[in-house]
């Protein structure tokens, strides 16, 4: 009888261990595919919020489109005074925000349909 109880206990321990390992593996697989799906639907911004200034807004928009972003809006802005290097500064990016966030790194990932707002200088429209 003792031998039967010992086998029963070791069988239960084995069964519980097998169920626990299976549950952990299942959670791991679900997590892996969820993260993979999320990463597949995201794009890397490729611009650092600190180095985006003075890039041409139209060029930035086209590069972001090539990266897969679809919700890009350009917002023209004028400065209080005309800069001496007007032609060099026209259409330069003032700021770029992604989903309202203006601080990000070049390798940050965002959903392809994230709202991107590019604010830029538009001198010619107002001064010429």
Could you tell me the two tokens for 88? Answer: 């060099």
Question: What is the structure's pLDDT at 51?
Answer: 67
- Are the beta carbons of 96 and 73 closer than 8 angstroms? no
CA distance 87 to 128: 11
Confidence of residue 1 (pLDDT cuts 50, 70, 90): very low
> CA 114 from chain center: how many Å?
8
Tokens 């084995």 correspond to: 14
Q: How confident is the model at residue 128 (pLDDT cuts 50, 70, 90)?
A: low
Q: Do 120 and 75 form a contact (C-beta atoms < 8 A)?
A: yes
Q: Does the pLDDT of residue 70 top 80, yes or no?
A: yes
pLDDT for the residue numbered 124: 64
Do strands 116-121 and 72-77 pair parallel, antiparallel, or not at all (unpaired)? Answer: parallel
């Amino acid at each position: 009888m003792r031998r039967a109880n010992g086998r029963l206990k070791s069988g239960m321990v084995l069964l519980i261990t097998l169920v626990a390992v299976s549950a952990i593996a299942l959670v791991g697989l679900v997590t892996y595919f969820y993260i993979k799906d999320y990463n597949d639907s995201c794009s890397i911004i490729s611009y650092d919020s600190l180095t985006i200034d003075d890039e041409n807004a139209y060029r930035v928009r086209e590069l972001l489109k090539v990266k897969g972003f679809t919700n890009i809006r350009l917002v023209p802005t004028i400065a209080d005074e005309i800069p001496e290097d007007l032609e060099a500064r026209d259409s330069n990016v003032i700021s770029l925000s992604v989903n309202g966030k203006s601080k990000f790194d070049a390798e940050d990932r965002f959903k392809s349909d994230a709202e991107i707002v590019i604010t830029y200088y538009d001198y010619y429209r107002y001064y010429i």
